[in-house]
Amino acid sequence: MRQVILDTETTGLEPSQGHRILELAAVEVCNRKLSGNRFHRYLNPERESDPGALQVHGLTSEFLSDKPKFAQVAGEFLDFIEGAELIIHNAPFDIAFLNAELSRLQRGAMAQYCAGVVDTLAMAKELHPGKRNNLDALCERYGVNNAKRTLHGALLDAELLAEVYLAMTRGQESLMIEVAAEMRAAARVIPQTRRAFVVLRASVEELAEHTAQLERINQSSKGKCLWLSLGATA
């Protein structure tokens, strides 16, 4: 199964207020392993970042001024995610921004290009109710090294989220392994202990009574007693 772990950095919190994506990153996971394929672009958002957002990502307008606009990388990005299941932390936020960018280009919505979206924030809240479930907290909980995460960056966050997601869902894999092991154990043939059987032979009187009974059966069946006929030819 092909999955793409995705993250964005933006100029603010609300695409409805004209805020834009300024960094976009995605890493590919195939059959629960990082493939090494990734998509990463800094983007010129054509506007300033809110002060609060700038403190989070640290990407200044000067740094982004010569970077491509979303329209210039949209085709390459959509090709990269085509048909994959997207794994996103707080997915409604990123999807809303991506849909707004696609709408500006009249290229539909994300649902047209991917096989579905998994929100790891919703998953974490279900697994760990009442606990902190941001990416830093999940890295600590699942033993993922996030020492390089001094600022939010889309590529680093996508790579960290990939490790967290694989750790969060490892129980599903373990369950299948345990079930398979139980099935193998049940299928094994356990050798039975050999026992000595005692053979009790019929007495002369018992044999005579048995023969008389067969004769009676033979008479009532008009000579069709199989035991007598088989005994005669043995």
- Residues with catalytic function: 152
Neighbouring-strand partners of residue 26: 6, 39
Q: What span, in angstroms and rounded, lies between the C-alpha atoms of 21 and 157?
A: 15
Give the 3-state secondary structure of residue 107. coil
Q: State the sign of the Cα–Cα–Cα–Cα dihedral 90, 157, 76, 97.
A: positive
Per DSSP, 16 falls in state G
For 39, 62, 110, 228, the CA distances from 46, given in Å and listed in that order, are: 21, 11, 22, 106
Task: Give the number of C-alpha atoms closer than 13 A to the C-alpha of residue 139, restricted to the C-beta side.
Answer: 17
| Residue owning tokens 């096989």 | 115
Q: What span, in angstroms and rounded, lies between the C-alpha atoms of 28 and 5?
A: 6
7: tokens are 């993250």
159: tokens are 């790579």
Q: State the sign of the Cα–Cα–Cα–Cα dihedral 78, 11, 165, 91.
A: negative
How big is the CA angle at 166 (ends 56 and 142), to the nearest 5 degrees? 65
